[in-house]
Chain A
Amino acid sequence: MKLLIVEDQPKTGHYLRQGLSEAGFNTELVADGSSGQQLALSGDYALLILDVMLPGRDGWQILQAVRSAGLDTPVLFLTARDAVEDRVHGLELGADDYLVKPFAFSELLARVRSLLRRGSTPPQETSLQLADLRLDLIRRRVERGGQRIDLTAKEFALLEMLLRRQGEVLPKSLIASQVWDMNFDSDTNVIEVAIRRLRLKIDDDFPNKLIHTVRGMGYVLEERPA
């Protein structure tokens, strides 16, 4: 699965490629709009990450060229300006998502994964599982090591998200947006508290912890060797 990054800021581009490569993606980086458009039109990429301001051709123009060539490659925009018109313009042209600089890499990674997953229909699971933790989607029940655990509706939704995206670091903003539909930056520590309360029920009584904090980035659900 190849990703194309078109970004003219050398440092930004370099770190984006490094980060995405280390996250397991095959990533290509170009710094100018014209070669970016050429590559994008080849149709070899699963996702395009475009900066808006580029030398040669800007991000909007690349997007237009890609869409008029009949390609439906998902496009994620990176923009330094959070103007409403920009957002509307991008969405009208067929952008799939956008991120305003400064953004956190964990946020970008989460969005990239969401976009890549969008195309494929998820298998109709009836339950999700990690180690001895099991979440029954039909009966809406959670068990760990055979022990029944009572969760509130939101705790259930939070755990479901963590289980569905196990192994991924989920930033707090993404959790707030997906579980509570709070789509804005906030410096509230609600998510921390909610995770702590979930841990209390899921992890506290068990020796191998499943919910982990990745300092400064978010939370991840995974089995780690003790």
Chain B
Amino acid sequence: MPRLSLSSRLALLFAACTAVVSLFAGVLFSRASEAHFVELDQQLLEGKLIGLRRALHDTQSRESEIRLADELSRQADLSLRITGSDGRRWYDSSANLPDLLAQQPGLSTVNDDGTDYRVLNAPLFEDKPDSPQLTLLLDITHHQHFLQRMQHLIWLTVGLSALATALLGAWAARSGLRPLRRMSAIASGVSVHSLNARLPEASMPPELAEMAHSFNAMLGRLDDSFQRLSAFSADIAHELRTPLSNLLTHTQVTLTRPRPLEDYREALHSNLEELQWMAQLVNDMLYLAKADHGLLMPTREPLDLGQEVDVLLEFFAPLAEDARVILSREGTASIEGDRNMLRRALSNLLDNALRFTPAEGEVRVRISQQPKVLGLVVENTGEGIAAELLPRLFDRFYRADPARQEGSSEHVGLGLAITQSIIRAHGGQIRCESGDGWTRFLIELPKRV
């Protein structure tokens, strides 16, 4: 079954409401007018009854016959029947009155041969039990015709007003839903080239403003991720270009003329360095790609985090002693996680910290137990990082050093991005703070993966 559009749904609902309301009003009106006619007829017939009783007071006199005729002639659509107490028909004022009439006293409506009568039965003498019966018949055919016409009119009105509201409703719904269509038009126009399109939130009706806001926020996130991704691809090409061009140039220059053996060896060594750098880059990128695809699946082994940190501090001890930097650890905690992955994450942080700590400085690792998570802080003394650079630290290839030299740099520049991926794969998060002479990387890890 094809689903109805919102506009059609609304239009149909409007039409149905109008039909119900006008039908109800019509029925009420038609009932009221019918009751009104009955009341008018009753008044008229009761008035006539008095006149007729007076005229027939003396049934035997000739005079009463004249008075009766006179009384009846004043109302052309009124007829009279007089029935004896034995049920015999004494008198009919006109020839074609219906044969069978109800005998019970009071007002009733009778249809005979296409003619409608309002009938009033009453005894001629109210105080005598065996009094002859008077039956007054009022021809109300034209009333009934009027009522019927009115009913037709009501049906017509119901139909027409339903149709009219359906059409008006469709129009109203369409114009009411215009912001939605504008939204869908913008949404359908979104592609990687137009991720900067936004819905005008201010001009949206309040019901849609929230949705427009969410939609814009979604576009914003997509835009951001896409920018990062395209920057990443551009960066890869950029980072690879320098070592590749070194390799090409060096190899070609070496081959242009015969050289002493030592020169060839030197050329190969130089090439080897470039190649190793590129291999490291490719391996790191594959690692990040795996993380991006959710394929970085940490094992869960119970670890003593304090012990792990000590092993790492021992690993970095030669580097720290060389740089005359003090390494220390505070606190411990147990955690479930992947030993090698966590070591890699922390080793990147420590390596990073040691590189930016001046001589006689300090690198500290602090572990703290919190109710649900455990906190791990790697902090180092030294010149801080400008606040506006902090969010970009974890970007791929980002180097805080403005004089970065892609390719020739000793470090590939993916270390912090890898650390972040590992922490996220463990369900944790990492951020960086800098101030009062310390730069801190703060990690929160759930106690279980």
Contact = CB atoms under 8 A, between A and B. Distances in A.
Contacts of A186: 344, 347-348, 351
B274 to A, nearest CB: 10
Contacts of B316: 188, 190
A181 interface: yes
Contact of B286 (A82, A103, A189, A197): A82
B273 A184 contact: no
Given A182-B343, A189-B410, A193-B318, A216 B269 contact: yes
Contacts of A182: 315, 343, 347
B279 A102 contact: yes
Contacts of B411: 187
Contacts of B318: 154, 190, 193-194, 197
Given A188-B351, A193-B319, A180 B280 contact: no
A154 B319 CA distance: 13
Interface string A95-126: 00000101110000000000000000000000
Interface in A58-91: 82-84
Q: Name the residue among A82, A184, A215 with the largest chain B CB count within 10 angstroms.
A: A184
Q: Tell me the dominant secondary structure on chain B's binding face.
A: helix
A216 B318 CA distance: 21
A181 B341 CA distance: 12
Nearest to A183: B340
Nearest to B413: A187
Contact of A215 (B269, B290, B343, B412): B269
B424 to A, nearest CB: 17
Nearest to B269: A215
Contacts of A84: 295, 297
Contacts of A83: 290, 295
Contacts of B351: 186, 188, 190
Contacts of A102: 279, 282-283
A185 interface: yes
Nearest to A158: B318
A185 B315 contact: no
Q: Tell me the dominant secondary structure on chain A's binding face.
A: loop
Nearest to A103: B279
A180 B286 CA distance: 25
Interface string B321-356: 110000000000000000011011001100100000
Contacts of A100: 283
A184 to B, nearest CB: 4
B136 to A, nearest CB: 104
B323 to A, nearest CB: 9
Nearest to B345: A184
B410 A104 contact: no
Contacts of B412: 187
B235 interface: no
Contact of A184 (B272, B279, B322, B344): B344
B314 interface: yes
Given A82-B286, A154-B314, A188 B319 contact: yes
B311 interface: yes
A152 B317 CA distance: 11
B284 to A, nearest CB: 7
Interface of A: 82-84, 100, 102-104, 152, 154, 176, 180-190, 193-194, 196-197, 215-217
Given A190-B319, A196-B322, 17 more contacts: A82-B283, A82-B290, A180-B315, A184-B347, A185-B284, A186-B347, A186-B351, A187-B280, A187-B410, A188-B316, A188-B319, A190-B315, A190-B316, A193-B322, A197-B322, A215-B273, A216-B269
17 contacts: A84-B297, A102-B282, A103-B279, A180-B311, A180-B314, A184-B341, A185-B284, A186-B351, A188-B316, A188-B347, A189-B410, A190-B319, A193-B322, A197-B321, A215-B273, A216-B273, A216-B276
The 7 tightest CB contacts between A and B, nearest first, are A216-B272, A184-B344, A102-B279, A194-B318, A188-B351, A193-B318, A180-B315
